[in-house]
């Protein structure tokens, strides 16, 4: 739990510092963004996202979001992402 | 000649495989239904008289595996040298699928691309220039719709004619050091831009996939943490209610009538025969098997409904909504799928755990998935609900939701025992397009299950019943047990020591212990054995239920209180599943420690739940504790102590390990 | 021994014979769970320990 909170804190701070960078959970529903950075701290996960077509420079559309998860469109597929992933994808 | 079927998850590989081979392997509208390779001969009408074997592989997004089942695919196409590959491409998601296609094309094995789900594209107005795509990929491309069998003969015909030849790759990965992560990344990026160029050239979309549609609105509600869970509970309740209270028993009633008439007829014919012949044939074979078959309608109606659910695409939404809850207890949202499949059969449920990436989560899920009553346990539930609770629907609903609760509690326990430290557990799930569930498919899947159920009843359960019957009829001197001296039979003397252990749970009769034991061979055996040892057949009988408030013949013969009956039911539901499921657990867990842990946990859970239900129930209904409270309490406390010490030991060990991992930085978090 | 008894005994023997033969055959094939439609894929995993 502790780690989760710290992790959340850091990403939020970062997002506040630089206005044009935000996590998916801070983005607006229905809009298409360009992925700026993906950092899941897990190489395998990063490359898995890559293979789905989610990497820097590619478009990503936020279809809907909840408190701690969201649904996005990557390429032509819809995916449900949990909190960790939504915060690891910077748009 | 072998032709491998490869492609992204949920692109329709197994549907095509089933259409070509005439098999009915499990399909569903989500990624990761197929978790192992399957092989079968292709039908002559497609193979053109040649001996062609189709190999169905689990879905994969690329050649580098992420989850265990993806690894099976990349290993197979790399090492097994199939004569040709049919690459099934989800035509609605060309931009992602072609990444894997270009990798397959590099292997040198002839590839035929099947642009599947082309019916959806037609509906949405997406056009793909097939000729151009074929030219760019340097391989034949065909549009297919495997649910309707369209285009299949073209694909397979081409694959057969190309088999054994070679394949030109449209894109070849530069010669790079595969251990250099940056170089691999850059190379993959180039491959993706190559794919993007192709897609831009061949695909024309009327409806952009990023547009919000009606189904997105539905998804937003279905994945809402509150509404989504309520809807899921309601849907599952409907499934149980229809199959086990409304439609199922109505059909069963009719079926049981016929079975009973047949049994009476057999008994009538054997009036003048030696008692032993009549007992074996009329009571043992016809009665015992009939008792089990009588529940068939309940089971198949449920399979039918579950098949509809699996086919429409709802499962992934459930997975998404359950993820936060499951994560809190140390499982993953993907654990939902094994749980729901588990309502059908525990074995595919345990195998479905393969799609879970984290090893601890995977093992924990396969250990807990069987707490959900499987199809074989439905007869047991229905028997007790009918005999002791006047067929009340709440018995089955409670059985399922208690199973779910036990999964959560068990997960918390495993989390504690394994000393689970917070680790990143990601959850990403593709939400496939909604699809009208096919009644034909659900019916087919239902008939398949019905067939399996009957085969099981006519073979393994029949033989078990016969053995039980003989063991009950004879004593150790191989003389027929005399009336009034039933306790001297072989069966009684074997089951009595076990029955002794079950006294604190309220059911110390050797008959019940014997039924619970035969239940490990197959859970339907519980019903079969009870039918044989108590000489009953008509477990479902509406007329009898109307007699004095639940105290019907069945209940009277068994001589148990309703509370003890509920305890016995729960004991059978939550103890280890059948041997076959334990075998599946063994092969998925790949660890003897975890396997024995799982069996221990399940035995302990079954015992404890039954103990608590019986003792508190008796206290509530009769105002005093049930028999054998103290020994039972001691047994439960001993089990708790054992869990505590195992937990302590593994946690100490785990802490050491975790420390080591921490030293080399990020590795610990990723492990 | 009357006629029905003879028929019954033959029936029992035949039923048991076929049941046992079916189980034996399936077991020889390596099927873990008799009659299970997924039995094939279970077996496959047993032999190939790819994960």
Which ranges of chain A have pLDDT less than 50? 1-10, 12-18
Residue B361 lies in a domain: yes
Residue B253 and residue B150 share a domain? no
* Contact in structure between B56 and B25 (CB atoms under 8 Å): yes
Task: Indicate the number of domains in chain B.
Answer: 2
DSSP string, B84-109: EEEEEEEGGGHHHHHHHHHHHHTTSS
Tell me the residue range of the domain where C40 lies. 3-47
Task: Indicate the number of domains in chain A.
Answer: 1
* Contact in structure between A30 and B212 (CB atoms under 8 Å): yes
pLDDT at B545: 40
Q: In which band, very low, low, confident or very high, does the pLDDT at B305 lie, cut at 50, 70 and 90?
A: very high
Given a cut of 90, whether residue B408 has pLDDT beyond it is: yes
Please give the DSSP secondary-structure letter assigned to residue B481.
P
Residue B663 lies in a domain: no
pLDDT at B552: 61
Residue B658 lies in a domain: no
Residue count of chain A, please give it.
91
Residue B668 lies in a domain: no
Computed over every residue of chain B, the mean pLDDT equals 86
Beta bridge pairs of residue A69: A82
Residue numbers in B near A66 (CB within 8 A): 223-225
Please give the DSSP secondary-structure letter assigned to residue B333.
G
Residue B21 lies in a domain: yes
| B touches A, CB cut-off 8 Å, minimum 3 pairs | yes
pLDDT tens digits, B484-501: 777 889 999 999 999 999
What lies within 8 Å, CB to CB, of B127 at 6+ separation is B121, B203, B204
Tokens representing residue B323 in the block: 């993820």
Interface residue B75 vs chain C (CB under 8 A): yes
Residue B346 and residue B248 share a domain? yes
Q: How far is B209 from chain A (nearest CA, A)?
A: 5
SS (H, E, C) chain A: CHHHHHHHHHHHHHHHHCCCCCEHHHCCCCCEEECCEECCCCHHHHHHHHHHCCCCCCEEEEEEECCCEEEEEECCEEEEEEHHHHHHEEC
Residue B281 and residue B195 share a domain? no
pLDDT at A6: 46
Given a cut of 80, whether residue B47 has pLDDT beyond it is: yes
Residue numbers in B near C48 (CB within 8 A): 36-37, 72
Residue with tokens 């097994």: B80
Residue B500 lies in a domain: yes
pLDDT tens digits, B62-78: 888 888 888 889 999 98
pLDDT at A2: 43
Q: Do C34 and B459 touch (CB under 8 A)?
A: yes
pLDDT tens digits, B532-549: 888 776 565 544 443 334
Given a cut of 80, whether residue B82 has pLDDT beyond it is: yes
- The percent of residues in chain A predicted with pLDDT above 90, rounded, is 20
Tell me the residue range of the domain where B237 lies. 229-417+440-627
Residue B623 and residue B503 share a domain? yes
* Contact in structure between C36 and C46 (CB atoms under 8 Å): no
Of B347, B453, B459, the CB nearest to C38: B347
Q: In which band, very low, low, confident or very high, does the pLDDT at C32 lie, cut at 50, 70 and 90?
A: low
CA B444 to centroid of chain Cα atoms: 17
Residue with tokens 């997406």: B126
Tell me the residue range of the domain where A56 lies. 2-90
Tokens representing residue B406 in the block: 């036990």
DSSP string, B284-298: IIIIIHHHHHTTHHH
Task: Indicate the number of domains in chain C.
Answer: 1
Q: How far is C34 from chain B (nearest CA, A)?
A: 6
Q: What is the pTM of this model?
A: 0.84
Backbone angles phi and psi of B7, in degrees to 5: 165, 180
Contacts 24+ apart (CB under 8 A), A67-70: A67/B225, A68/A25, A68/B324, A69/B223, A69/B320, A69/B323, A69/B324, A70/A24, A70/A25
d(CA B3, CA B26): 20
Chains B & C: contacts with CB separation below 8 Å: 117
Residue B258 and residue B197 share a domain? no
- The percent of residues in chain B predicted with pLDDT above 90, rounded, is 36
Residue B648 lies in a domain: no
Pick from B487-496, B658-667, C13-22: least confident:
B658-667
- Using DSSP's 3-state secondary structure scheme, residue B7 falls into strand
Residue B271 and residue B167 share a domain? no
pLDDT tens digits, B200-217: 999 998 878 778 888 888
pLDDT at B200: 92
Given a cut of 90, whether residue B97 has pLDDT beyond it is: yes
Of A53, A61, A82, the CB nearest to B323: A82
Residue B68 lies in a domain: yes
d(CA B27, CA B144): 17
Interface residue A51 vs chain B (CB under 8 A): yes
CATH number at residue A7: 2.30.30.90
């Amino acid at each position: 739990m502790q780690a989760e909170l710290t992790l959340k804190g850091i990403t939020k701070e970062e997002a506040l510092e630089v206005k044009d960078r935000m996590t998916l959970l801070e983005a607006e529903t229905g809009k298409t963004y360009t992925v700026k950075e993906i950092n899941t701290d897990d190489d395998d996960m990063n490359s898995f996202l890559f293979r789905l077509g989610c990497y820097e420079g590619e478009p990503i559309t936020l279809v809907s979001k909840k408190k701690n998860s969201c649904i996005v469109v990557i390429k032509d597929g819809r995916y449900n992402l949990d909190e960790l992933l939504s915060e690891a994808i910077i748009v | 000649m072998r032709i491998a079927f490869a492609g992204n998850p949920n692109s329709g590989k197994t549907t095509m495989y089933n259409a070509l081979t005439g098999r009915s392997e499990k399909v569903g509208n989500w990624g990761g239904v197929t978790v192992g390779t399957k092989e079968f001969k292709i039908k002559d009408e497609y193979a053109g008289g040649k001996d062609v074997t189709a190999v169905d592989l689990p879905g994969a997004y690329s050649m580098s595996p992420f989850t265990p089942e993806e690894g099976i695919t990349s290993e197979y196409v790399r090492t097994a040298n199939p004569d040709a590959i049919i690459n099934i491409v989800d035509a609605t998601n060309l931009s992602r699928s072609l990444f894997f296609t270009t990798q397959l094309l590099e292997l040198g094995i002839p590839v035929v691309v099947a642009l599947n789900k082309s019916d959806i594209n037609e509906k949405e107005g997406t056009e793909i220039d097939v000729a151009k795509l074929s030219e760019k990929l340097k391989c034949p491309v065909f549009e297919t719709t495997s649910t309707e069998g369209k285009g299949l003969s073209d694909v397979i015909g081409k694959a057969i004619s190309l088999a054994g030849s070679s394949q030109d790759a449209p894109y070849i990965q530069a010669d790079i050091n595969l251990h250099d992560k940056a170089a691999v990344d850059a190379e993959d990026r180039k491959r993706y831009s190559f794919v993007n160029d192709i897609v831009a050239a061949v695909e024309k979309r009327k409806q952009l996939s990023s547009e919000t549609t009606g189904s997105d609105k539905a998804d937003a509600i279905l994945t809402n943490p509150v509404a989504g869970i309520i809807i899921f509970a309601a849907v599952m309740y409907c499934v149980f209610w229809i199959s086990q209270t409304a439609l199922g028993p109505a059909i069963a009633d009719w079926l049981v009538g016929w079975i009973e008439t047949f049994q009476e007829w057999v008994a009538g014919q054997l009036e003048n025969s030696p008692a032993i012949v009549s007992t074996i044939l009329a009571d043992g074979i016809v009665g015992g098997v009939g008792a089990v078959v009588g529940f068939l309608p309940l089971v198949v109606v449920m399979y039918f409904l579950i098949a509809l659910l699996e086919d429409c695409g709802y499962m992934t939404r459930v997975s998404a909504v359950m993820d936060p809850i499951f994560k809190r207890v140390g499982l993953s949202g993907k654990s939902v799928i094994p749980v729901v499949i588990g309502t059908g059969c525990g074995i595919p449920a345990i195998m479905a755990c393969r799609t879970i990436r984290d090893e601890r989560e995977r093992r924990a899920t396969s250990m807990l998935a069987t707490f959900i009553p499987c199809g074989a346990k439905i007869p047991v539930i229905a028997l007790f609900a009918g005999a002791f609770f006047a067929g009340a629907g709440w018995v089955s609903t409670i059985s399922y939701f208690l199973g779910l609760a036990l999964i959560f509690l068990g997960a918390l326990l495993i989390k504690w025992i394994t000393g689970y430290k917070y680790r990143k557990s990601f959850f990403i799930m593709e939400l496939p397009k909604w699809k009208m569930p096919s009644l034909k498919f659900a019916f087919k899947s239902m008939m398949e299950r019905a067939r399996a159920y009957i085969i099981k009843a006519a073979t393994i359960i029949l033989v078990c019943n016969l053995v039980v019957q003989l063991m009950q009829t004879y004593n150790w001197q191989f003389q027929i047990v005399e009336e009034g001296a039933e306790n001297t039979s072989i069966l009684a003397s074997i089951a009595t020591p076990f029955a002794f252990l079950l006294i604190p749970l309220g059911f110390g009769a050797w008959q019940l212990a014997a039924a619970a034991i035969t239940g490990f061979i197959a859970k339907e055996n519980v019903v079969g054995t009870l039918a044989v040892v108590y000489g009953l057949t008509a477990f479902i009988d509406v007329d009898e239920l109307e007699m004095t408030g639940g105290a019907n013949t069945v209940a009277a013969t068994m001589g148990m209180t309703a509370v003890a009956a509920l305890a016995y039911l729960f004991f059978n539901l939550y103890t280890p599943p059948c041997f076959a499921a334990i075998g599946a657990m063994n092969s998925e867990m790949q660890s003897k420690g975890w396997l024995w842990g799982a069996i221990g946990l399940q035995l302990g859970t079954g015992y404890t739940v039954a103990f608590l239900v019986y003792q508190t129930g008796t206290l509530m209904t009769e105002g005093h504790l049930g028999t054998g409270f103290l020994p039972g309490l001691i047994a439960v406390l001993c089990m708790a102590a054992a869990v505590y010490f195992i937990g302590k030991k593994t946690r100490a060990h785990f802490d050491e390990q975790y420390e080591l991992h921490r030293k080399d930085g990020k590795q610990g978090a990723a492990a | 021994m009357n006629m029905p008894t003879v028929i019954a005994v033959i029936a029992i023997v035949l039923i048991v014979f076929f049941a046992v033969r079916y189980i034996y055959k399936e077991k020889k094939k390596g099927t873990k769970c008799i009659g299970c439609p997924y039995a094939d894929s279970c077996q496959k995993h047993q032999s190939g320990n790819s994960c």
